[in-house]
Structure 1
Amino acid sequence: MIGLIAIIIVAAIAFIPGNETDNPASGVSDEAVSGGSNELASGDSNVSTSQGSDELVAAIGTHGGEPETGFNPITGWGYSREPLVQSTLFEKDSNGSLINDLATNYSVSDDGFTWTVDVRNDVKFHDGVPLTARDVAFTFNTAANSSGVDLSVLKNAVALDNYTVEFTLNDPQTTFIHKLAAVGIVPEHAYNETYGEHPIGSGPYRFVEWDKGQQAIFEANPDYYGQKPYFKKLTLLFMQSDTAFAAAKSGQVDVAEIPSSYANQKVDGMKIVSLSSIDARGITFPMQPDTGKKTENGYSIGNNVTSDPAIRKALNIGINRQTLIDGALNGQGEEEFTGVDKLPWGNKEAIFEDGKVDEAKKILADAGWEDTDSDGILEKNGTKAEFTLLYYSGAQERQALSVALSEEAKKLGINIKVEGKSWDEIDTLAHSTPVIFGFGTLDPTDLYLKYYSKSYDPANYNNIILYNNSVVDNYLRTAITSTDEDTANKNWQLAAWDGTTGFSEKGDATWLWIATINYMYIMDKDIDFGTPKIQPHGADIFGNILEWKRTEN
């Protein structure tokens, strides 16, 4: 059986000079750990934009943005982030360690298929109705039958009594604990098809109103069982980052997410802070050649360029990641080589030296790629070393990285054509065309879904490259089913590189990982936001909202 898994990540939060608006140990400063102000640029005066000191107005696109289906955890609201309105069974502290929230204890059967969780008996929903194990079971069973949350591992949940819930799994995945920390609990008695528009939960904030396309308002829950929030009213404005910065300058908001290009701006009474993250940007490489195969939806499978390991390896070692970060991200990021470099299951032996143009050219030449017509693009057997790279058209930072990567690739004789698309368009092309994605979570299941051969699920981009390596599969299965954390982490690491094979560049070079991005915010100088939690894909700026307060001017 496993206890509360302590995930100590010493470098996921750093105040150093990122930004992402999206659809998932080095560099930690003492200021970051203590929640220091990290004033990269600020003015001299100190003015508050709030109507009251205990009110907070925030334009935070990265906290999930405006949810299409409302503030409903079953359809994805707050997944792996602070849901504000709802409570979770477990949560994660600023070090990434799992701690109790609604849960008071849990146990796992010897075979790993049955999980039993004890629930607090002193919690009420915002309408005064007590929260019980029936609500927990209802939430997870309903979520498992929806498309908003991936709970495919869950067979069913049953309330054994008012304060004990039993989960039965389809597969003995020890990482199920992370699901229990990710899904907010909804009330069975008040859940219906319009719940997301008028949510009731047991969290630190009560829902007040939602003006679609504009804002959502929340008020502190006076009956909250945990620490009471300092800010009694929280208003979320739904703005793009450029607009949010303008709103901050004009005094309309207290906190705003901003683009990395604004790192050196000065605004009177405000400070600019930057949070490093585990949110990595990487590019998929379709692993199979194009043989005319189609998906069940008729989408093309395979790519005759990226299926060549020489192309994949050459790009991985030939590009200079720091150059991309300095240019495309204005320095707001850190180099990333495996997608999980900063995490306990990251394999440092899989990290390599990049920017080695000559070595990359040699790899290509040895594999038969040469420029026979002097156009600067290599060829092999009549095929040009060129491919299209897709990015989500709503993400400026992904566009910038894609364009910068294309320039780096030209040094190697590889031509990358960059195109922005909607997610619906990307869905039809991702089996045959490289895509720049964002991933970053404290749940190692993410590795399993990316690289395990049988995890293929295009709806969630699981193993979208159709990777199949039996040795890697064995490591991944051992890791996800192991009840010993050290054994699990060791096998996660071996899946990346065991000295002979793996999913990293040293092995099959399945992805081209580039960087983890920093999240940047501008906020009132007098806001003390405590010790931020580790920032995952999509950010979690309110993960420690109970620590936030105003200080004396």
Structure 2
Amino acid sequence: MKFTSSVIIALIAVISSVSSAQNVQSPTTPKSIVLAIGGEPETGFDPLLGWGSYGNPLFQSTLLNRDADLKTQPNLATQWTLSDDRLTWTISLREDVRFSDGSQLTAEDVAFTFNHAKASAGQLDLQVMKEATALDTKTVKIELTKPWITFVDFFFTLGIVPKASYGPEYGRHPIGSGPFQMVSWQEGQQLIVERNPYYFGKAPAFEQITFLFTGEDAGLAAANAGVVQMVSVPAQLADVVPEGFYPKAVQTVDNRGLSMPFPSPESVSGRKVGNSATSDLAIRKAMNLWIDRELVVYVALHGHGTPGYGPADALPWSGEVQVPHDPEAAQKLLDEAGWLMGADGVRIKDGVKAAFPINYPASDATRQALAETVAELLRPLGIEATPVGGSWDAIQRVMHSEPVVFGFGSHSPYQLYGIYASELGGVGYSNPSYYENSQVDKLFAQAQAAKTVEASYDHWSESAKHFGFKGDNAWVWLVNLDHVYFIDECLDLGKTQIEPHGHGWPVTATIADWRWTCQ
């Protein structure tokens, strides 16, 4: 394999960095491994600012865990109950937990973590929480302002921090009760971690792990040079496996789809909202019928993915059905709706052309490939879609009035709420298309008022009949990415989860089960 001079320079830097890292051992030694599986968090390793929302917080423990089958398992919590009025959680904690500095973890630390996460007003939205209170050293009470069953998501994702030592620099010097503790972090280069000697759970097989922040090309070059034992690769680079490695494609709900601005053009709080073409159900449904998702996976992802039909495919609350690929039905639908083919090959109705941009972040090769592939596929249907790459700042300015290649994917049904709830229209990246359906909102309210998350599934699933293909065709979902890893032949990851969106190293969720198989 050939590399550009810039990649070679980056590789040399990687090799030099790893070789000089404290106590990094030979790749053949089972006590230490090196990974290049993604970038580093901008705000550091602070759970209160979003670290650990996807995957394993690594340095911190959470109240609950999900196993490889996504089944709930106790972690810090031994019991957790919700009151009949759905407003109060009572959580009992293990008594044998210490932070990596040796101090005891108590209910005061849990209450502090939840209260401070709400006050931080970062990426985590805990506004539905009234207050968390330590009833004694091992019992926490969390009061809500209204029934909100998806609040339980924070039990799986919010790493607990120590009240006594938490401060502004915590994200760069984390102390937690998770399986690893930080040795050193050279921002933009590498992170070295080692086993936490006080960890109460199953001890990881490896005493030390180095995470390299190389970028995709240099990470692959490092694998070819034998510097790393695992590297994540995008679909465009996933077909040439380095010698001594095996490829592993992990199933995900890391989806990509086109947001379709839902209302007719209007101004909302000074924002341009809605689109004359995409506000027509006939356009949205025809696109869903026309696009051959198997072909999109083959062309844009080089086969490393699956067709996408909704934001929660394969999860028990998805409620989505496969969208048939029916080009004839798509054409008939547009003809009957008055979208007639113009002389320039673009359909037109009442003076409005079936034409719009498809925006994507210019730095994302996968989203660019999806935008370009979909644009070409839509051309024969008479829809003129123009791929436009830009920064996220630029996309934010147009995402309420023009389609965007967005990506989501989590282990929580709240993902549906975040995309389709009318009250979230224009709130950050939530519901960017300003979708609104009162029946969907009603079903969401019923889901949030359920006694358990499992009891809410039917309501979430029912809502898909309204926002999905059988109803409003609110989005045009395209694909679910495979997360592709090249893994040293001696490294066995065991059973992996259906992974969420790719932020935060989700493959490390089962890190306690990783094993080195060579002697």
Contact 2:132 2:143 (8 Å CA) reproduced: yes
Contact 1:204 1:229 (8 Å CA) reproduced: yes
Contact 1:80 1:183 (8 Å CA) reproduced: no
Return the alpha-carbon distance in structure 2 between the equivalents of residues 264 and 369 of structure 1.
42
Aligned partner of 1:344 among 298, 316, 327 = 316
Aligned partner of 2:137 among 141, 162, 172 = 162
Aligned partner of 1:153 among 128, 151, 168 = 128
TM-fit CA distance, 1:552: 2.5
Return the alpha-carbon distance in structure 2 between the equivalents of residues 173 and 52 of structure 1.
48
Aligned partner of 1:223 among 176, 193, 198 = 198
Q: Which runs of 4+ in 1 moved over 4 A?
A: 484-487
Deviation readout 1:170-208 (Å, 9 max, x if unpaired): 221122222211110111111111111111111000111
User: Which amino acid counterpart does residue 148 of structure 1 have in structure 2?
Assistant: Q
TM-fit CA distance, 1:52: 3.1
Aligned counterpart, 2:478 = 514
Return the alpha-carbon distance in structure 1 between the equivalents of residues 174 and 149 of structure 2.
31
Return the alpha-carbon distance in structure 1 between the equivalents of residues 518 and 170 of structure 2.
40
Aligned partner of 1:93 among 59, 67, 71 = 67
From the two aligned structures, give the one with the greater helix fraction.
2
Return the alpha-carbon distance in structure 1 between the equivalents of residues 469 and 336 of structure 2.
17
What's the secondary structure of 1:420's corresponding residue?
Answer: strand
Aligned partner of 1:130 among 104, 110, 124 = 104
What's the secondary structure of 1:181's corresponding residue?
Answer: helix
What's the secondary structure of 1:189's corresponding residue?
Answer: coil
Q: Output aligned runs, 1:45-56, within 5 Å.
A: 50=27, 52-56=29-33
TM-fit CA distance, 1:457: 4.9
What's the secondary structure of 1:127's corresponding residue?
Answer: coil
Return the alpha-carbon distance in structure 2 between the equivalents of residues 83 and 266 of structure 1.
29
Aligned partner of 1:536 among 500, 507, 518 = 500
Return the alpha-carbon distance in structure 2 between the equivalents of residues 154 and 457 of structure 1.
22
User: Which amino acid counterpart does residue 545 of structure 1 have in structure 2?
Assistant: I
Aligned counterpart, 2:286 = 314
Aligned counterpart, 2:512 = 546
Contact 2:426 2:434 (8 Å CA) reproduced: no
Aligned counterpart, 1:187 = 162
Q: Output aligned runs, 1:199-214, within 5 Å.
A: 199-214=174-189
User: Which amino acid counterpart does residue 100 of structure 2 have in structure 1?
Assistant: H
Aligned counterpart, 2:324 = 353
Deviation readout 1:225-261 (Å, 9 max, x if unpaired): 0111111101111122222111100111111011223
RMSD, matched Cα: 1.5
Contact 2:56 2:508 (8 Å CA) reproduced: yes
1:382 equivalent in alignment to 2:382: no
Between 1:50-59 and 1:427-436, the stretch displaced more is 50-59
Return the alpha-carbon distance in structure 2 between the equivalents of residues 268 and 464 of structure 1.
44
Contact 1:49 1:251 (8 Å CA) reproduced: no
What's the secondary structure of 1:188's corresponding residue?
Answer: coil
Between 1:449-458 and 1:131-140, the stretch displaced more is 449-458
Structure 1 unaligned blocks of 5 or more: 1-47
TM-score, length basis structure 2: 0.92
Structure 2 unaligned blocks of 5 or more: 1-24
Return the alpha-carbon distance in structure 1 between the equivalents of residues 417 and 71 of structure 2.
21
Return the alpha-carbon distance in structure 2 between the equivalents of residues 536 and 119 of structure 1.
27
Q: Output aligned runs, 1:247-258, within 5 Å.
A: 247-258=222-233
Q: Residues 432, 120 of structure 1: CA spacing in aligned structure 2 closer, same or farther, 3 A cutoff?
A: same
TM-fit CA distance, 1:120: 1.0
Q: Output aligned runs, 1:200-349, within 5 Å.
A: 200-291=175-266, 293-295=267-269, 298-348=270-320
1:495 equivalent in alignment to 2:463: yes
TM-fit CA distance, 1:326: 0.3
Return the alpha-carbon distance in structure 2 between the equivalents of residues 142 and 219 of structure 1.
27
Aligned counterpart, 1:438 = 407
Return the alpha-carbon distance in structure 1 between the equivalents of residues 30 and 454 of structure 2.
46
Contact 1:49 1:524 (8 Å CA) reproduced: no
Q: Residues 117, 481 of structure 1: CA spacing in aligned structure 2 closer, same or farther, 3 A cutoff?
A: same
Return the alpha-carbon distance in structure 2 between the equivalents of residues 536 and 362 of structure 1.
37
1:59 equivalent in alignment to 2:28: no
TM-fit CA distance, 1:49: 6.1
TM-score, length basis structure 1: 0.86
User: Which amino acid counterpart does residue 83 of structure 2 have in structure 1?
Assistant: S
> How many residues end up aligned between the 2 structures?
492
Return the alpha-carbon distance in structure 2 between the equivalents of residues 485 and 60 of structure 1.
31
Aligned counterpart, 1:525 = 489
Aligned counterpart, 1:418 = 387
Return the alpha-carbon distance in structure 1 between the equivalents of residues 366 and 100 of structure 2.
39
1:451 equivalent in alignment to 2:420: yes
Return the alpha-carbon distance in structure 2 between the equivalents of residues 81 and 487 of structure 1.
24
Contact 2:288 2:323 (8 Å CA) reproduced: no
Return the alpha-carbon distance in structure 2 between the equivalents of residues 505 and 387 of structure 1.
21
Return the alpha-carbon distance in structure 2 between the equivalents of residues 456 and 375 of structure 1.
35
1:177 equivalent in alignment to 2:147: no
Q: Residues 466, 231 of structure 1: CA spacing in aligned structure 2 closer, same or farther, 3 A cutoff?
A: same
Return the alpha-carbon distance in structure 1 between the equivalents of residues 427 and 439 of structure 2.
23
Deviation readout 1:52-107 (Å, 9 max, x if unpaired): 3211100011xxx2111111111111113101100000010001111111001011
TM-fit CA distance, 1:51: 6.5
Contact 1:49 1:252 (8 Å CA) reproduced: no
1:474 equivalent in alignment to 2:442: yes
Deviation readout 1:413-455 (Å, 9 max, x if unpaired): 0011111222222222111111111111111011122212223
Percent identity reads 39
Q: Residues 126, 77 of structure 1: CA spacing in aligned structure 2 closer, same or farther, 3 A cutoff?
A: same
TM-fit CA distance, 1:485: 5.3
Contact 1:60 1:239 (8 Å CA) reproduced: no
User: Which amino acid counterpart does residue 377 of structure 2 have in structure 1?
Assistant: E
Q: Output aligned runs, 1:395-414, within 5 Å.
A: 395-414=364-383
What's the secondary structure of 2:273's corresponding residue?
Answer: coil
User: Which amino acid counterpart does residue 162 of structure 1 have in structure 2?
Assistant: T
TM-fit CA distance, 1:394: 2.2
Contact 2:150 2:453 (8 Å CA) reproduced: no
Contact 2:82 2:451 (8 Å CA) reproduced: no
Contact 1:357 1:411 (8 Å CA) reproduced: no
Return the alpha-carbon distance in structure 1 between the equivalents of residues 165 and 454 of structure 2.
42
Deviation readout 1:313-363 (Å, 9 max, x if unpaired): 110111100000001001111111122231111225x33312x22211111
TM-fit CA distance, 1:487: 4.6
What's the secondary structure of 2:275's corresponding residue?
Answer: coil
What's the secondary structure of 2:340's corresponding residue?
Answer: coil
TM-fit CA distance, 1:550: 0.6
Return the alpha-carbon distance in structure 2 between the equivalents of residues 519 and 395 of structure 1.
15
TM-fit CA distance, 1:474: 1.3
Return the alpha-carbon distance in structure 2 between the equivalents of residues 130 and 376 of structure 1.
70
Aligned counterpart, 1:371 = 341
Return the alpha-carbon distance in structure 2 between the equivalents of residues 266 and 450 of structure 1.
37
What's the secondary structure of 2:149's corresponding residue?
Answer: coil
Aligned counterpart, 1:35 = none
User: Which amino acid counterpart does residue 504 of structure 1 have in structure 2?
Assistant: G
Deviation readout 1:444-475 (Å, 9 max, x if unpaired): 0111222122233522x222222221112111
Return the alpha-carbon distance in structure 1 between the equivalents of residues 196 and 234 of structure 2.
33
Deviation readout 1:91-144 (Å, 9 max, x if unpaired): 100011111110010111110010011111111111111011111111111111
TM-fit CA distance, 1:380: 1.3
User: Which amino acid counterpart does residue 324 of structure 2 have in structure 1?
Assistant: E
